[in-house]
């Protein structure tokens, strides 16, 4: 059995297959996911698991060099934005229109769906290198 924090086999597989500049997305229960993007559905019930719980878990294994967020999070969910910024004090945050983020999901290795029910709780993580 794995000793690391990420024990979900699909999430672990996706992270292990990622290279430099590859992307992985985590989002709320309402984010539309393109059919060609793998969806790892963790949603159990409203709020379970939360966006931040899943993000924290993924960050134990994924080296992140850049983060993409919807521009709308600034006004529609400033509490979530603050929590995200706390997790990435030295990482570049790029804000894009939500419509563009939905299109960018087509390029992601996978989208991890959470039970989060707050607006614009979606993120695209760009993989860095550990050397």
- Answer yes or no: is 98 a known binding residue: yes
Return the HEC string of the chain. Answer: CCCCCCCCHHHHHHHHHCCCCCEEEEECCCCCCCCCCEEEECCCECCECCHHHHHHHHHCCCCEEEEEEECCHHHHCHHHHHHHHHHCCCCEEEEECHHHHHHHHHHCCEEEECCCCCCCCCEEEEECCCC
Q: Name the residues annotated as catalytic.
A: 20
- Answer yes or no: is 56 a known binding residue: no
- Answer yes or no: is 122 a known binding residue: yes
- Answer yes or no: is 127 a known binding residue: no
CA distance 58 to 5: 8
- Answer yes or no: is 121 a known binding residue: yes
Q: Would you list which residues are annotated within the binding site? A: 28, 98, 120-122
Enumerate the known binding-site residues for substrate: 28, 98, 120-122
């Amino acid at each position: 059995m794995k000793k690391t924090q990420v024990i979900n086999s699909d999430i672990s597989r996706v992270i292990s297959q990622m290279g430099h500049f590859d992307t992985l997305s985590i989002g709320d229960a309402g984010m539309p996911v393109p059919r060609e993007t793998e969806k790892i559905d963790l949603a159990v019930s409203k709020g379970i698991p939360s966006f931040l719980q899943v993000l924290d878990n993924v960050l134990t294994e994924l080296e992140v060099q850049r983060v993409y967020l919807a521009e709308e999070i600034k006004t529609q969910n400033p509490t979530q934005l603050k929590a995200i910024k706390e997790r990435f004090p030295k990482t570049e945050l790029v804000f894009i229109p939500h419509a563009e983020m939905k299109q960018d999901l087509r390029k992601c290795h996978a989208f991890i769906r959470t039970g989060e029910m707050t607006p614009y709780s979606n993120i695209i993580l760009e993989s860095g290198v550990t050397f």
